[in-house]
A = this chain, B = another copy of it.
Amino acid sequence: MALAEERVLSIQSHVVFGYVGGKAAVFPLQCLGYDVDVVNTVNFSNHSGYGRSGGSKTTAEELKTIFQAMERNELLRPTRLLTGYIPGAEALSAVEKLASKLKHAKPSLIYLLDPVMGDAGRIYVAPDVIPVYKEMLPLATIITPNWFEVELLTDIKLNDIESLHQALEILHMKYHVPNVVISSIPLEPWLAEALPPSIRPTKHSDSYEPHLLCIASSFPTASATLNGRVLHPSQPIVHAQCVPLIPGYFSGVGDLFSALLLAHFHPDTTPETLHASPLSTAVSQALSKTHAILVMTQAVAEALPEEERLPSDDELDVEDPMRKIRRMRGRELALVRGQDLIRGHGITHVREMISWEGFGGSK
């Protein structure tokens, strides 16, 4: 349970039905003891994965009005800030100003910035938000970009371990982001081969079981120590872990993961496990709980009547939009049913993040 004083300001999308954005983040944070101030950047009927939805975006003006009223009423008192999907550059700039104001008023503010821009090569925000996100990076305590968003933020195409080194270096050194967490990375062979054996999944019949990789990279300040050992500031601490891929498309997973990561991040506590860092400890918790919720969600989806779980088929889906819509509906995260998992009950095993020794090349 978080301290009673812990308060999160969450700024992201709202959908009436289902669990993405705020609907995927706020309830878990509340279950874990955080009071949450909830700003809705959009108000839609359902998430975009359904193919069609209704509702409206909150204008930059409306956001500013809300932020101003909160400031005037002394209601801007979060100890943590969480920002997710913010569709337009003007709205994002309003959030940037607010984040900057909060960070300077309270340097201890823990800001988890999820630079939601796109996935798998497809951008689903206005492209002019990209430079705004780059400006915002130095304000963040933790960022949780996906593989594609790392490429957009660093302008580096990730196709080998060196490009990954460069990208992380840019995020840490150029943009001064102390903690970078890249979750659900498709485990390409080159990436699997680069992993230390302790992290690499076992090969079956000469190929890897489908896995997702999660990488957490902390760039400590000169004074930082890990398990008593003083850390060289030029050397990031990198942890990683593989999680079995659960087939099928689920929405809101990243939003849930980021919320759980923020909830479990306690920078001032010394980790119990050897080689663990406050970041890796939080990522281990977030990874394990997110995976457990996904397993439950899939079980629920599998139990639905067949017409509610028809497989993806672009042609048929175009002919009959309800195919996709029912599939999406059946795959909404089982957050309420799985709330005990979020509280940490029934998590059979925690997927500990493993220290990636020598990632920086310095053994």
| A interface residues, Cβ below 8 angstroms from B | 4, 14, 16-18, 23, 27, 30-31, 33-40, 43-46, 50, 52-56, 58, 62, 65-66, 68-70, 72-75, 300, 322, 325-326, 329, 335-337, 339
Contacts and interface: CB of A to CB of B under 8 A. Distances in A.
22 contacts: A14-B40, A16-B38, A17-B70, A17-B75, A23-B38, A27-B30, A30-B336, A31-B31, A34-B336, A35-B336, A43-B43, A44-B66, A45-B66, A45-B69, A45-B75, A46-B73, A54-B70, A55-B66, A55-B69, A56-B62, A56-B65, A73-B329
Nearest to A40: B43
Contacts of A34: 336
A62 B38 CA distance: 20
Contacts of A339: 30-31
From A16, A40, A56, A66, residue with most partner B Cβ within 10 Å: A16
B70 A46 contact: yes
Contact of A68 (B23, B31, B54, B62): B54
Nearest to A300: B4
B74 A336 contact: no
A210 to B, nearest CB: 29
A40 to B, nearest CB: 6
A92 to B, nearest CB: 18
Contacts of A300: 4
Contacts of A27: 27, 30
Contacts of A66: 16, 43-45, 54-55
A44 B23 CA distance: 18
Across the A-B interface, give the 7 residue pairs with the lowest CB-CB distance, nearest first.
A54-B69, A45-B69, A17-B75, A54-B65, A45-B70, A45-B66, A17-B37
Contacts of A35: 336
A51 B27 CA distance: 28
A52 B73 contact: yes
A31 to B, nearest CB: 7
A45 B68 CA distance: 9
Contacts of A52: 69, 72-73
Contact of A46 (B31, B55, B58, B75): B75
Given A36-B336, A43-B66, A54-B72, 18 more contacts: A4-B300, A16-B37, A16-B66, A16-B70, A17-B75, A27-B27, A30-B339, A31-B339, A43-B43, A44-B66, A44-B69, A45-B69, A46-B75, A50-B73, A55-B69, A56-B65, A73-B325, A74-B326
A43 to B, nearest CB: 6
Contacts of A14: 38, 40
